[in-house]
Amino acid sequence: MIAKRHIVLYLMPAVIFTLLFFVFPLIFAGYISLQQWNGINEMVYAGLDNFKLVFQDPVFIKAVINTLLWVAGAVLLHIPFGLLLALLLARQPRGWKVFRVLFVLPNVISTTAIAFLWYFVLHVNLGLVNNILKLMGLGALARPWLADLKTALFAHQLPFIIYAGLTMVVFLTRISAIPAELNEAAKIEGATNWQKDWYITIPLVKDAVLINIILNLAFCLRMFEYPLLMTGGGPANETVNLGLYMFKEMIIANRYGVSMAAGLMTIAVGAVVTGTTLALSCIMDRRNGI
Amino acid sequence: MVIKRSRVLLLALLTVLLAGCSANLQKEPNSKQADEPIEIKMLSSWSTDTERGRALHLLVNKYNEARAGKVKISIDINPDWPNYQEKVKTMIAAKQPPDLFNYNFNPNDLSRQNSGQLLDFSPYMDEQWRSRFKPEDIEALTFNGELTSIPYEKAGVLFYYNKKLFAEAGIQTFPQTWDEFFAACAKLKKKGIIPISLMTADDSWHSTNALTYLAAAADGMDVFKAGVSLDTPGMVAAAEKLKQLFSYSTDDAIGANYSISSNHFALGNTAMIIDGPWLIGSLDDELQKNIGISAGPLVHQGHAQKGFIVTDTYTPWSAGKQASKEKEQAIVDFMKYMTSDDGVRLMTLEGRILLSAELSLSEEELKKAGPVLSQFIDVSGSAPESIIQISRVLKPAAISKLPSLIEGMMFEQYDPAGMVRRMNEANQ
Amino acid sequence: MRWIKELFLYLVSFIMLAPFVWLIIASFKTNRELFAEPFGLPENWMFDNYIAVMTRHPVTTYFLNSVIVSVVSTLLALLLATLASYIFTYTFRWRSYWQLLLVGGILVPTNAFMVPYYFIVKWIGFYDSLFGIALVYAGISLPLSVLIIKNYMNTIPPELSEAAFIDGAGVHRTFTRIILPLSCPGVVTASIFLMVTAWNELMYANLLTQSEGTRTLQVAIRFFLTTFQANYPQAFAAMILAIVPSIVIYALLSEKIIGGLTAGAVK
């Protein structure tokens, strides 16, 4: 046990911040979501109209789906890619330190700059991708990647998937903590590198997977820069996500109530997704008897 | 010792907080002393990378010199126009309106006027100042007897065409009707010339310009009037033609932003573009010699007069209500200077910006303005009637949907009639 | 086999970095060159774009603003998080509920709070000030920092603080002398995550500032693209000027940064 004053002293600052930046905003957002309000003039109580409007808006449904697809992109592509890079670098090939530095570099530069840069990389005439395809004689595959209904969604996630440096470092951290004896034992048994990775390394970095999932979930749920700067949500709302939907409703359409109704739904989606992840990880832990 | 530690921690926290507070306090206007100049903070989106931005700086510097020691105007630049517009709204919402700002007037969105936060200029509008403006402009911006916005810019959005490319395709004059227009497009395309620059990203500006011209040619100048349904046969026909127009545009038109679209024209890749006078600064001298400017084509049995034009909306200046009478007067004085003959001349000739205040230019000055601007002034000046661009007059919710609706139509998610119906629904 | 792996690594580096090389080359071109031949080398390598940007835009101010915002927000969040995490190493009533309150925010996509944050910052009088943004970032990052630091502190053997207690050290002394130094790696890890997040954030930096004096790098980069609407090479030059300092700092500290992440072992 510890004296109450100590608890108050140490805990209060963080609690005050949490109240200010999480609890109060939640209440405030809930209040605004029930109003019809353009941000300047008087609020008019609107009951659940904003929620009705949001649920009947096909663009909002699209935004929810796309947000979930961002999460899927993180879990199915970004994190495995980061893991692959980590496994390759963990074997310490020639120049691995340089690669490690280079792979993390884009993460510290600027998401804004990267998003804009990739707008150009994927541009139909000026873009690197189409011009390389043409050089290789695959000009038929060239297309306006970000303006094509079929490719826009994947194309605007591409920079996020590729720049997996931070995710990689989290894995590397965990891999470097694996006792060397384990690997040596496996070597004596005659295991190949891939077998070692599959049977020893990957099971041991499971907690790093969970950390990466949580970090990237948080990132994907509040994803905003890539859709805004690369596609603006287009073509025909194909790439709108919840962050952009809220932003557009607030900033362009001036419907603060609708924006916050969507905001509350975003929080609900976030809670469901993260809750599911944590529950799954608990179940798996228990099954493995950890 | 224990107590001391906790105090140190508390102190550290307090210092951090206080440091922030004091930084903020410094920003509060100090109580004015008689010899301190009145400071007026003017918001603008015109950065000094643009001609108009440099002209505005010149104008403000001139004014500051003339009033040295009494008034000091400083310009705060936010080059992202939509972002700037929202900033102003949120500042008004927080009851801290900026000293001076300009905005896109929208009769469907009077939130700024109704906020009660804006300075009413009408007591200062004496005969002399009033004579600087067209009466209908003043009237359009007056609400409940209050004039909270000073008319300033109302630029025409006109057809630019590349005469050299037109000549290559054997076209002598700019088409007078939309049928001729599409015939000309076909001719250009046959010669391997892309007829027109269009775009759909952001506000879909060049495409909505075309849509406005098409709609107004069919249904006349009141087609977007508040309270009137947009779901008319004329609008549907306009949407159909817009869709057709995209087949005469670049292959990157869908998804292109303003820069991509305007660069196509500036580099001679496309033969036409519909844009305001601000584009002129991006065209090099060689190209400028070959540019023609025209008003909109007509349609058979349409309700528009020959020579009608589309304009950007009013972009007037407004000011926040001031506690100090002196500052209020200083703001009014500066606005008078900005709209004076001198001020307008400077902004028109140096900044290539077409203002709604009266200005008569001499032959020589017109020549100095360059071949494109003088044509621009000419075509705008002789237009019998005009209509404001569609994405400036609809309800904000409809404006935010318009670009994606155009894209949806282009991707065959719905036909032009479906697009018009959805647009009308969003405008309710 | 080995060469496939190496080839793969080189390929990945190429995909990651080629766009940046293109950006650098493009920033020396004229607008016409860029659009006519996007991949050609510029006819003559001209610095006009850079000069134009340097003379008209306070790029250094933007950079310093970003530094101030990231550093202040990180320090603030770390201060709050270490204090709270420390007290969680003790048992007290409703401890797990308090933990849930502080960490639960990690589930919340904070851009849902666009409107509330705007008004909170407004009400406490920090609109358009660097401290306002830093405050919001600190608030947003608090759950993650508590999570990382708390988990790290949990790995410190409780015997250490018990020993300190027996030696007569109080709550505060145990914190400053034992726990804080030992949890340094965890704190460093958290700080890197916070710095990277704060450095890259665009939405709130954009929403909460107005004037040039408080513009962060990310907002500035976005504005460059609108300012130079019809002149991308200049926008590119501005972007390069804006990101070069971060690359230099990263190059100098890369070992420390990556080492920090490694040592702190996100657990």
Q: What is the pLDDT of residues B247-263, one digit of tens each?
A: 999 988 998 888 889 88
Q: Which tokens in the block code for residue C77?
A: 């969040």
CB contacts of B115 in chain A (<8 Å) are 40-41
Q: Is the pLDDT of residue A220 over 50?
A: yes
For the cut 50, the answer to whether the pLDDT of residue B196 exceeds it is yes
Report the pLDDT averaged over residues B395-400: 88
Q: For chain C, give the percent of residues with pLDDT over 70.
A: 95
Inform me whether the C-beta atom of residue C14 falls under 8 Å from chain A C-beta atoms.
Answer: no
Least confidently predicted of A65-69, A198-202, B31-35, C118-122: B31-35
Q: 3-class SS at A241?
A: coil
Q: Domain limits of chain B?
A: 38-153+314-360, 156-311+370-426
Q: Are C245 and C167 contacting, i.e. CB atoms less than 8 angstroms apart?
A: no
B370 vs A1, A189, B373, C171, CA distance in Å?
A: 83, 84, 6, 78
CA B389 to chain centre: 10
Token pair for A241: 């996500």
Cis upstream peptide for A227 (omega within 30°) = no
Quick check: C34 contacting A, CB < 8 Å? yes
Q: In what order do the strands lie in the sheet with B149-153?
A: B71-77, B38-44, B100-102, B315-319, B149-153
Looking at residue A275, what is its pLDDT? 86
Within 8 A by CB and 6+ apart from C133, the residues are C69, C73, C204, C205, C208, C209, C214, C216
Contact C260, A108 (CB under 8 A): no
Instruction: For the full predicted model, state whether its pTM sits above 0.90.
Output: no
Burial B279-312 (b: 16+ CB within 10 A, else e): bbbbbeeebeebbbbbbbbbbeebbbeebbbbbb
Residue B339: per-residue pLDDT? 92
Q: Chain B contact for C226, CB < 8 A?
A: yes
Tell me which of A192 and A162 has the higher pLDDT: A162
Per-residue model confidence (pLDDT) at position B287: 92
Nearest CA in chain B to C49: B49
Contact assessment for residue A91 and residue A193, using Cβ atoms and an 8 Å cutoff: yes
Please check the confidence at residue A2 and state whether its pLDDT lies above 80. Answer: no
Percent of residues, chain B, with pLDDT higher than 90 = 54
Q: What is the DSSP string of A29-66?
A: HHHHTTEE--SSS--EE-TTHHHHHHHH-HHHHHHHHH
Of C32, C76, C129, the CB nearest to B267: C32
pLDDT higher at A132 or B11: A132
d(CA B89, CA A150): 37
The residue of chain A with its CA nearest to that of B407 is A236
Q: Which alpha helices (DSSP H) does chain C contain, by range?
A: 2-26, 31-36, 48-56, 59-87, 95-104, 114-123, 130-154, 158-166, 171-173, 180-182, 184-200, 203-207, 217-227, 232-264
Chains that touch A (3 or more CB pairs under 8 A): B, C
Would you place residue C243 in the very low, low, confident or very high pLDDT band (cuts 50, 70, 90)? confident
Place of tokens 């003088």: B374
Tokens, residue A101: 């530095």
**Residue B315's beta-bridge partner residues?**
B153
CB atoms within 10 A of CB C25: 18
Averaged confidence pLDDT in chain A: 88
C 122-181 → A contacts, CB under 8 A: 136, 138-140, 142-144, 146, 171, 175
| Residues of chain A with C-beta less than 8 angstroms from the C-beta of B6 | 9
Rounded Cα gap, residues B315 and B152, in angstroms: 6
pLDDT in tens, B74-131: 998 887 787 788 788 878 877 888 999 999 898 888 888 888 899 999 999 999 999 9
DSSP three-state, residue B123: helix
**Measured between beta carbons, which residues in chain A are less than 8 angstroms from residue B413?**
236
The pLDDT value recorded for residue C8 is 92
Min Cα distance A233 → chain C (Å) is 15
Burial class (CB in 10 A: 0-12, 13-18, 19+), B199: buried
**d(C-alpha B416, C-alpha C2), whole Å:** 58
- Say how far apart CA A199 and CA A187 lie, in whole Å: 12
| Chain centroid to CA C156 | 27
Mutual orientation of helices A165-176 and A96-109 as an angle, nearest 10°? 140
Strand partners, B150: B317
Contact C170 B282 (CB under 8 A): no
Does A198 touch chain C if contact means CB atoms closer than 8 Å? Answer: no
Q: Position of tokens 């595959």?
A: A141
Chain B nearest-CA distance from C208, in A, is 9
* Alpha-carbon span B204 to C64, nearest angstrom: 35
Q: Residue range B160-181: average pLDDT?
A: 95
Quickly count: other Cβ atoms within 10 Å of residue A183's Cβ. 17
Is pLDDT larger for residue A136 or for residue B5?
A: A136
Residues of chain A that touch chain B, judged by Cβ-Cβ distance less than 8 Å: 9, 13, 38-41, 59, 123-125, 144, 146-147, 149, 231-237, 248-249, 251-255
Output the pLDDT for position B420.
95
What average pLDDT is seen over chain B?
Answer: 87
Q: Which fold has domain A56-287?
A: MetI-like fold (1.10.3720)
How far is the C-alpha of C129 from the C-alpha of B21, rounded, in Å? 10
**What's the burial of A15, exposed, middle or buried (CB within 10 Å: 0-12/13-18/19+)?**
middle
Q: Is residue A95 left, alpha or beta, with left meaning phi > 0 and alpha meaning psi from -120 to 50? A: left
Lowest model confidence (mean pLDDT) among B135-139, B329-333, B364-368: B364-368
Indicate if the pLDDT at residue A225 is higher than 60: yes
Is the CB of B397 inside 8 Å of chain A's CB atoms?
yes
Kindly list the partner chains of chain B, i.e. chains with 3 or more CB atom pairs below 8 Å: A, C
Any idea which residue has 């000293």 for tokens? B99
Report which residue type is found at B181: F
| Partners of residue C119 in chain B, C-beta under 8 Å | 94
Average pLDDT taken over every residue of chain C:
86
Q: Is the pLDDT assigned to residue B20 strictly greater than 50?
A: no
Q: Would you identify the CATH topology of the domain B156-311+370-426?
A: D-Maltodextrin-Binding Protein; domain 2 (3.40.190)
The confidence score (pLDDT) of residue C140 equals 93
Alpha carbons C201 and C69: distance in angstroms, whole number: 10
pLDDT of residue B23: 43
Four-residue CA torsion sign, C51, C55, C60, C65 = negative
As a whole number, mean pLDDT of residues C27-31 equals: 88
- Say what percent of chain C tops pLDDT 90: 24
Model pLDDT, residue B146 = 92
Q: In angstroms, rounded to a whole number, what is the distance separating the alpha carbons of residues A256 and C8?
A: 48
The pLDDT-based confidence of C230 (bands split at 50, 70, 90) is low
pLDDT 10s digits, A110-141: 888 899 889 888 988 778 888 889 888 888 88
Question: Which of the four pLDDT bands, split at 50, 70 and 90, describes residue B178?
Answer: very high
A232: left (phi over 0), alpha (psi -120 to 50) or beta: left
Residues of A in contact with B82 (CB under 8 A): 251-252
Of the pLDDT bands very low, low, confident and very high (cuts 50, 70, 90), residue B26 is very low
| Fold topology of B38-153+314-360 | D-Maltodextrin-Binding Protein; domain 2 (3.40.190)
The pLDDT confidence band at residue B35, using thresholds 50, 70 and 90, is low
pLDDT of residue A1: 56
The Cβ of residue B179 has, within 10 Å, a number of other Cβ atoms equal to: 13
Mean pLDDT of A31-49: 88
Q: Are B79 and C223 in contact (CB < 8 Å)?
A: yes
Quote the pLDDT of residue B22.
40
A287 or C74: whose pLDDT is higher? C74
Sign of the C-alpha dihedral, residues B214, B218, B222, B226? negative
Per-window interface: A 42-71 vs C, CB < 8 A: none
Residues of C in contact with B282 (CB under 8 A): 230-231
* Beta bridge partner(s), residue B84: none
Do A253 and B396 count as a contact with CB atoms less than 8 A apart? yes
Compute the nearest-CA separation of C211 from chain B (Å). 6
Structure tokens at C212: 């040039």
Tell me the shortest Cα–Cα distance from A281 to chain C, in angstroms.
14
Do C203 and A243 lie within an 8 Å CB cutoff? yes
> What is the C-alpha to C-alpha distance for residues B324 and B322, in angstroms, rounded to an integer?
5
* Segment C141-166 mean pLDDT: 87
| CB-based contact B393:B224 (threshold 8 Å) | yes
E strand or H helix at B7, and its extent? Answer: helix B2-25
Phi and psi for B161 in degrees, rounded to 5?
-135, 145
Look-up: residue for tokens 């096909």? A58
**Mutation target among C8, C258, C267 for the A interface, most CBs of A within 10 A:** C258
Does C125 contact B90 at a Cβ distance shorter than 8 Å? no
3-state secondary structure of B101: strand
Same CATH fold assignment for domains B38-153+314-360 and B156-311+370-426? yes
- What domains can be seen in chain C, in order of their start residue? 1-46 (no CATH), 57-261 (1.10.3720.10)
Q: Sorting pLDDT into bands at 50, 70 and 90, what band is B19?
A: very low
* Contact at CB, C127 and B9, closer than 8 angstroms: no
Q: Can you tell me the distance from the alpha carbon of B39 to that of B350, in angstroms, rounded to the nearest whole number?
A: 26
Residues of B near C (CB-CB distance < 8 A)?
A: 1-2, 5-6, 9, 12-13, 16, 19-21, 23-24, 27, 43, 47-50, 76-81, 83, 87, 90-91, 94, 96, 258-259, 262-264, 266-267, 269, 279, 282, 284
Q: How confident is the model at residue A59 (pLDDT cuts 50, 70, 90)?
A: very high
- Classify residue A167 by burial, with Cβ atoms within 10 Å: 0-12, 13-18, 19+: buried
Type and span of the H or E element at B162:
strand B156-162
